[in-house]
Amino acid sequence: MMAECSPEAYRPFRRILIANRGEIACRVIRAAHAAGFETVAVYSEQDRDSLHVLMADQAVHIGSSQPASSYLNIASICNAIQASGADAVHPGYGFLSENAEFAQAVLATGAVWIGPTPQSIRAMGNKARAKELMLAAGVRCIPGYEGLDQSDSNLLAQAVKIGFPVMVKAAAGGGGRGMRLVLSADQLPNALARARTESMQAFGSEELILERAMTCAHHVEIQIAGDVFGNVVHFGERDCSVQRRHQKIIEESPSPAVDETLRTRMGVMAVQAARSIHYVGVGTIECLLNNDGEFYFMEMNTRLQVEHAVTEAVYGVDLVAMQFELAQGSALSMTQDQVQFKGHAIEVRLTAEDVAAGFLPQSGVIARWQSPEYLEGIRVDHCLRDDTIVSSYYDSMIAKIIAVAESRDLALARLSGALKQTVVLGIPTNQPFLSAVLEHPEFRAGQATTDFVERHRSGGLLDQQHPDSRTVIWAAVAAQGLLDTFIAVDTPQRDSNERVLASVISTITLHAMAAGVTAQAARSRTQRWIVALQARPDGVLQGRLETGSGTEPNPWIALRHRPRDFVSTCADGVVEVFVQGRAWAFKLDDSAAATHTQSANGLIRAPLGARVATVLVRQGERVKSGQTLAVLESMKMEHAVIAPFDGTIDELKVIEGAQVRSGAQLMRVTALLA
């Protein structure tokens, strides 16, 4: 039996340091400000201009971009606590959130730790020790090995005893890191080596456990909360069965696989587990649920979960605000009888990944971000804006989109609609894959289990898709700079003051882009289109695809109306468009086209998000082809804006020192008449 927590460790505070980054840091900062607390952000070199840094009242630099030098650097974060005058620390999730030594170090600074005691973290933060405690308490656990002998020879012997397939897991953490499914004995040595490396990088520990692989089950977890007086309640369950690489990507509450009787049984177990370690704060008990209704304890997460938002939506609670209250020594504000859920909530994790290449994480710059959070029943947790850098140093999740409604069907409909109105340009994401999962009959029926993605991998769920003809033509229009200059009308009547396009045909060659390096992705790079664009005398722009193979081209398509949801960016020889609920990227045929995309018809746009360092021309000034018109500065590099031809500056829309986003109009050059 563990010693009870010290009530003195939980007391009032006024200034919270958030020892994390990204969307969870933004989420905690918003909740803290709403509750009247001051906030302190910490940031690595990579995150110097991140949104969470701008949102906080203070910000402290804690090290270089590598996590080990910053967000995993206990000494650096403790120095930030003292330098900022913070008297409480919220760890978020991931990084050091389940590190007992970090919690102890925070307490040693005199600050309040917004979370369970270090003793509780040690008891449940390590999967091996947690299973030992639960087994001693009579809780059913997945059969496996949690021993101290970590030699390869012993782990192989234990795996044979358990029976293949087995799951290798990092004992010190979660989130799918340090986790490998092993189908046979010959695969085990490599799996152990990779799991140890990944676990050390993520959690600072190489300790592993083995478990019997239950590959066709529901992953169900119970949300609990406990106070310093020994009261514990649960807030029902979440279903997190849809996963890739053993990491969750879609979560919902309540679970379609759990009825009221089972919910009560699982809740009783979760509350008992939390009470056994005198748990204070918000936490989660994770289980696997078989088709026969039997469930097995896997682990306890002694922190806030990524998927906490779906529980908040159906139970009407703010779990972060509850963490603040419990960390100040307050009693829970409700009893179990008062905990009631209403409706249904579903969440998807939007990640920067190339799905067709095996969910390969991607890094780069988000040129355009538009959130659907204005829609009814939709919540979006993110730390994004135009020109946000997605770094290879950190997790690939960039946002969470949550829908809540009276029924599961309506929540699904709302989430599908919101996902199709979420614009991310500049970097590949899993957005089309998420839409496909939400529309899949098995998921819609609530029958998806942990092997759902793998079972449907060969059924087209992960295949690289291809754009239709109209999408390609609209991409060519955007690449040619014609979106703002062509006049699409249905009748030949025209106002004499309107700009008239010459009735000429231009062509542009586009290549499909794929982020991955797999054979399938490489093949998609060979797909190319030659697009012919023509401005008719009546002002209607039309286009068609030419195959380039000697066959007849497709018919002309009149582009009378720009698609309602159309968004585009164009920079560095790449045009990206968002249309009909998804993004596409095309590379132009040659390097000369990169300049052309920025200046066709004299419209000059910013090729990247940047600060305007210098403006070298004035309104009405004559310029020569190739003349430098302005200089942009971004990430300590300069980019010259060049005149595309001889002409006159007839629109000048920037001033020195201004920040411009990628694709923003800077000026227009009108060609001199011959």
> What are the structural domains, with CATH classification, of the chain?
7-114 (3.40.50.20), 143-212 (3.30.1490.20), 464-601 (2.30.29), 606-674 (2.40.50.100)
Q: Give the DSSP letter string of 595-652.
A: HHHHHGGGEEE-SSSEEEEEE---TT-EE-TT-EEEEEEETTEEEEEE-SSSEEEEEE
Whole-number pLDDT of residue 485: 55
CA-to-CA distance for 181 and 462, rounded, in angstroms? 20
10-residue stretch averages of pLDDT, the chain, 674 residues long? 63 98 98 98 95 97 94 98 98 94 97 96 83 82 90 94 92 78 92 88 84 90 97 98 92 97 95 92 95 88 96 98 98 96 98 88 90 97 93 92 98 98 94 96 96 87 85 90 58 40 63 49 57 80 74 80 87 88 85 43 74 90 91 69 89 84 80 70
pLDDT for the residue numbered 505: 55
Residue 303 annotated among the catalytic residues of the structure = yes
Tell me, what's the pLDDT at 673? 65
Among candidate residues 303, 379, 582, 605, the one labeled active-site is 303
Instruction: Return the beta strands (E) in 492-627 as ranges.
Output: 505-512, 528-535, 541-546, 557-558, 567-571, 574-579, 582-588, 603-605, 610-615, 622-623
pLDDT at 378: 98
Provide the pLDDT for residue 136: 82
Give the pair of three-digit tokens for residue 130.
């947690």
CB 149 within 8 A of CB 221: no
**What is the separation, in whole angstroms, between the first and last Cα of the chain?**
92
The answer to whether the CB of 595 falls within 8 A of the CB of 610 is no
From CA 208, how far away is CA 454, in angstroms rounded?
24
Contact 210, 225 (CB under 8 A): no
Q: How far is CA 224 from the centre of its chain?
A: 25
pLDDT score of 403? 98
CB atoms within 10 A of CB 335: 9
